[in-house]
Chains A and B, each alone.
Chain A
Amino acid sequence: MSLLFDPSLGTATEIADAVRSGTASASDIARTALDRIAAMNPVLNAFTDVTAERALAKAEAVDAARARGEALPPLAGVPFAVKNLFDIEGLPTRAGSKINRERTPAVHDATLVARLDAAGAVLLGGLNMGEYAYDFTGQNAHDGNARNPHDTRRMTGGSSGGSGGAVASGMVPLALGSDTNGSIRVPSSFCGLFGLKPTYGRLSRAGTFPFVASFDHLGPMARSTADLALAFDICQGPDPLDPHLARRPVTPTMPELGKALDGLRFGILGDHFKRNGHPEAFAAVDVVARALGATREVVLPEAARARAAAFVIAAAEGAALHLDRVRSRPQDFDPDTRDRFIAGAMIPAAWVIKAQKVRRWFKDRAAEVFADHDILIAPATPCFAPTQDQKTLVLDGVEMMLRPNMGIFTQPLSCIGLPVATVPIWLDGAALPIGVQIVAAPWREDLALRVSAALEGMGVAKSIVAEVMA
């Protein structure tokens, strides 16, 4: 195969440019990606389904359109893959579970998959995830654990673990994930990726398997801010299939990326976000704050309580969704999720309703903070990617269960649906990346992405393709 550039190292934007200019054909790029998946997936366990036939047919169609002289859409020939809770036509939507494999194959693609496909992108398959998305580790008892491309002994983070591994290893430049309590931001941090959790209600959830209706978000993960913005812009828009979608105008973010940061008011989140972490989490925040000239600390009042509210709501709603399955066939669950769903099914209603009140109260306090700030900065995870066998975590001298506490910094923010771009930071001498959350006011993904792009342009945030020994 003679490609003029290596698409496994390229971003989605670069690949689309190469296809448009004829530097590479979509078919060659798809075949290269499939070869890379065949070589690497036995090590990384990122893909659970590879849609090779569909990918090659789509790539040929892109090449044929170019041969006819047609204008190519923005993602023409760009390989992508999706967390396996997105419907993919012809496959049962497993959502990381054993039980869902018995579902009839999806008749249509999920809305966001269809939108990327319509933009010329080439779907390569479904990606590993924690069972039913109740996970921060990327581990899965049915499909095996996703492994971190930067160190395969370590976790990818979850629950969009396969999405993290697939993009960080260069199998694909772009993936879709979901984020309920941190499931895009945690693997983006551990795998060194740019990730976007948009505002709650911004992107259609139609055709995806739910987890917690109050907090479920979908979004892209990539190795550049421009790719996030491009995918996000394509994914926006009304969708009659999603009754929960907010009625907001489409807000293109791509034109905002090159703009200067002059005038933006930054705050470094204090209190809860300055505790409960290892030194690397705070060092990464310092690096970002210095680059942005941010010096002012600001407190989101009662962030720990907001996290507690999210914890209760997620446990109760997730358990209610799965109650029949947990009752009738508990042995078919991943033990790590089953036991949490069982406990979640036992929550008194008053706790949940009060938690929803706390959520409303906290949202109003956040709005007050955003009256004086455009961007808030916070760690994404409390530490670097843990090893696969790690079960507990020591934070501020207290040993706690690792699985529910990886989201200690992400959960208060998704609780009120704030848009967050996660940027990957490589600290001096560090062998692993760690993420920082760039948090904007509701509906201001443009600002979060603009800051992400600026940090990337300064070389402060960067995503690198891991060298994996296949």
Chain B
Amino acid sequence: MKDAAFDPTAHVAHMETMMGLTIEEAWRPVVIGHMTAIAKAAEMVMGFDLPDDIEPAGVFEA
């Protein structure tokens, strides 16, 4: 699965430009660390098989 090859450093560098963000070099390792943590969580989410007809909880009532 392609997500397994997710490169947080490259992603942060790309999205920094795309989103018009400023990352000072002192912050960069921390931002990459957070991106890595998010990607790890996303791997669990994306790796979970769900039927197509599961509705997203965009409008949610408990």
Query: Hey, which bits of chain A sit against chain B, CB under 8 A?
Result: 199-201, 214, 246, 302, 304-305, 307-309, 311-312, 315, 323, 326-327, 330, 335, 338-340, 342-348, 350-351, 353-361, 363, 401, 404, 416-418, 442-443
B62 pairs with A338, CB closer than 8 A: no
Q: Is B1 an interface residue (CB 8 A)?
A: no
Residues of B4-62 whose CB lies within 8 A of A: 11-12, 15-16, 19-23, 27, 30-35, 37-38, 40-42, 44-46, 48, 50, 54-58, 60-62
A351 pairs with B46, CB closer than 8 A: yes
Give Cα distance in the complex from A200 to B15, angstroms.
33
Least Cβ–Cβ distance between B5 and chain A, in angstroms: 14
Give Cα distance in the complex from A199 to B45, angstroms.
24
Give Cα distance in the complex from A358 to B62, angstroms.
14
Among B31, B38, B44, B54, chain A packs the most CB atoms within 10 A around the CB of B38
Q: Which residue of A335, A343, A354, A401 is within 8 Å of B45 (Cβ)?
A: A354
B30 pairs with A418, CB closer than 8 A: no
Contacts of A323 in B (CB 8 A): 19
A326 pairs with B21, CB closer than 8 A: yes
A346 pairs with B15, CB closer than 8 A: yes
Contacts of A302 in B (CB 8 A): 48
Task: State whether A338 and B27 are in contact (beta carbons under 8 Å apart), knowing that A345-B15, A404-B37 are contacts in the complex.
Answer: yes
B21 pairs with A345, CB closer than 8 A: yes
9 further contact pairs, Cβ within 8 A, besides A346-B19, A347-B38: A200-B61, A201-B62, A308-B40, A343-B31, A343-B34, A356-B58, A357-B50, A363-B60, A401-B33
Q: Which residue of B34, B40, B41 is within 8 Å of A339 (Cβ)?
A: B34
Give Cα distance in the complex from A309 to B54, angstroms.
15
Query: Hey, which bits of chain B sit against chain A, CB under 8 A?
Result: 11-12, 15-16, 19-23, 27, 30-35, 37-38, 40-42, 44-46, 48, 50, 54-58, 60-62
Give Cα distance in the complex from A327 to B17, angstroms.
11
Contacts of B19 in A (CB 8 A): 323, 327, 345-346
Contacts of A347 in B (CB 8 A): 38, 42
Give Cα distance in the complex from A210 to B4, angstroms.
33
Contacts of A354 in B (CB 8 A): 45-46, 48, 50
Q: Which residue of A340, A350, A418 is within 8 Å of B34 (Cβ)?
A: A340
A342 pairs with B38, CB closer than 8 A: no
B62 pairs with A416, CB closer than 8 A: yes
Contacts of A442 in B (CB 8 A): 62
Contacts of B20 in A (CB 8 A): 327
Contacts of A350 in B (CB 8 A): 46
Name which residue of chain A comes closest to B32, CB basis: A343
B42 pairs with A339, CB closer than 8 A: no
A343 pairs with B62, CB closer than 8 A: no
Give Cα distance in the complex from A342 to B29, angstroms.
12
Give Cα distance in the complex from A361 to B48, angstroms.
11
Task: State whether A315 and B38 are in contact (beta carbons under 8 Å apart), knowing that A346-B19, A357-B56 are contacts in the complex.
Answer: yes
Give Cα distance in the complex from A326 to B15, angstroms.
14
Name which residue of chain A comes closest to B12, CB basis: A346
Contacts of B44 in A (CB 8 A): 304-305, 308
Least Cβ–Cβ distance between A330 and chain B, in angstroms: 6
Task: State whether A417 and B60 are in contact (beta carbons under 8 Å apart), knowing that A345-B15, A358-B48 are contacts in the complex.
Answer: yes
20 contacts between A and B (CB under 8 A): A200-B60, A200-B62, A246-B61, A305-B44, A307-B41, A308-B41, A309-B45, A315-B38, A327-B19, A330-B21, A339-B30, A346-B11, A346-B15, A346-B35, A348-B42, A351-B38, A354-B46, A359-B56, A360-B55, A418-B62
Name which residue of chain A comes closest to B28, CB basis: A339
Give Cα distance in the complex from A81 to B50, angstroms.
44
Among A345, A347, A357, A418, chain B packs the most CB atoms within 10 A around the CB of A357
Give Cα distance in the complex from A401 to B37, angstroms.
10
